[in-house]
Amino acid sequence: MSNTGRVLSAFKQESGNILTLVAVSMGVLGGFIGLALDAGNAIVQQRAAQTAADAAALGGVREADWAVNDGTTITKAAQTASANNGFKDGSNGVTVTVNNGPASGPHAANANYVEVIVQKSVPTTFMALLNQKSITIKARAVAGPGANAGCVYTLGTTGNGIDNTGTSAINLTHCTIYDDSADSTKGITSSGGGSITATSINVVGGYSGGGSFTPTPTTGVMPVGDPLAYLPAPTVPATCGAAQSFQSGSNSLSPGCYSGLSLSSSAALSLSPGVYVVNGNFSITGSASMSGSGITFYVTGTTKLAGSGTLNISAPTSGTYNGIIYFQSRTDSNSASFTGGSGSTVGGIFYAPAAEFDYSGGTGQNVSADFVVKYLKVSGNGGFSDYNKLNGESPLQSISIVE
């Protein structure tokens, strides 16, 4: 064979080897690309599952804290939240496990916390060629009480969100104030020697006045929504009972719907626990007194609680209206007022999201109250403290992802 033939033969052999190496390399490269694609898809699914687990844990703990519930209700709420984020229990290889309290971790067996574990079998494409037909992803979240519970929310976006006059001391040492007013100077005002103390004070606009603020308000924050917007309003029957009016003596009343409720002169009224629907006006004048625990008033008319008598009333600490002592119709923009006499003890949340609420405190009162109102006007010299400290399961207790 000539030299030329030998060269051509060697070239052909070498070309064949190169093509073989290229083919093998392409196969290996394709395998790596396939593995990367399957792994990348699993990572995307894992992140989505974590989002679903977080949402589910928050949804479950809301039910645990805020509603009449059992384990079934909590599980349903959590699994619904997970499904809304693309991971439905029992569908497409998804399992959503809900534990109240958590099965493990620092909050194990604590019913104030809800643990959610989201698992999904994710089919593979290229790894299936290696007999790895699926990858199981898993995400876990635990939600429970957070550190920045709010106890005063004023939802009005203009004018005085909170106006503290007189010498009233607002002492909210366990919680935060949220004020949606965008007014540059009157979002929060405190004058006449009054003081406002909270864990933090947040206002969309600004603040002013000669009173003291502890800490200094944080201005320019984003507005917040109604934290009780989820709460169903009590049903007002087509026909309510007659208006109840008491002028003297000792009296009692049971939960129900009444076309009005008034106390005057020296009347004393004892209330049984439950929801009182006042489909009309609600008033207390003179030296009339009222007592009862586990009480919620739902009012559709004008509220004026201006008597000098003793009010010893408190909200329920469980059930749908846990923590709610006063609920004004969301469509009612008429201002409501509260003045309690010396010796009064009041505990609960006053909820009037469409209205101004005027609170006048006096000496000798023990008022632990949270407010979700459009505007809050505080006067007198009594002030109030936060209700959260009395009810750790209050619906205004903040919740967050803790694990």
What tens digit of pLDDT does each residue of 255-283 get? Answer: 999 999 999 999 999 999 999 999 999 99
Q: What would you measure as the largest C-alpha separation in the chain, in angstroms? A: 133
Judge if 292 and 209 occupy the same domain.
yes
Judge if 29 and 154 occupy the same domain.
no
Last residue of a domain, one of 92, 115, 145: 145
Counted domains in the chain: 2
**Domain of 181?**
150-398
Does 403 map to a domain?
no
Instruction: Identify the pLDDT of residue 65.
Output: 47
What tens digit of pLDDT does each residue of 45-91 get? Answer: 888 989 888 888 877 876 664 434 456 788 888 898 889 889 999 99
What tens digit of pLDDT does each residue of 223-261 get? Answer: 888 888 888 899 999 999 999 999 999 999 999 999 999
The pLDDT > 70 percentage for the chain reads 86
Q: The dihedral of CA 374, 379, 385, 387: what is its sign? A: negative
Last residue of a domain, one of 145, 171, 198: 145
Q: Which amino acid is at 69?
A: N
Q: How much is the pTM? A: 0.67
Judge if 182 and 100 occupy the same domain.
no
Confidence bin at 286 (pLDDT 50/70/90): very high
Judge if 166 and 100 occupy the same domain.
no
Judge if 314 and 268 occupy the same domain.
yes
Instruction: Identify the pLDDT of residue 345.
Output: 94
Mapped onto helix, strand or coil, the DSSP state of residue 360 is: strand
The tokens describing 5, both together, are 């033939």
Judge if 97 and 242 occupy the same domain.
no
Judge if 154 and 172 occupy the same domain.
yes
Give the Å distances, CA to CA, from 369 to 59, 338, 359, 389.
Answer: 26, 12, 10, 10
Res. 7: pLDDT tops 50:
no
Res. 126: pLDDT tops 90:
no
Give the residue, 291 or 199, on which the prediction is more confident: 291
DSSP 220: S
Last residue of a domain, one of 103, 120, 145: 145
Confidence bin at 351 (pLDDT 50/70/90): very high
Judge if 103 and 188 occupy the same domain.
no
Averaged pLDDT, 108-132: 83
The tokens describing 52, both together, are 């679903």
Distance CA 98, CA 77 (A): 10
Averaged pLDDT, 203-220: 92
Res. 168: pLDDT tops 90:
no
Give the closest residue to 357 by CA, choosing from 319, 327, 398: 327
Instruction: Identify the pLDDT of residue 347.
Output: 96
Q: Are 49 and 139 in contact (CB under 8 A)?
A: yes
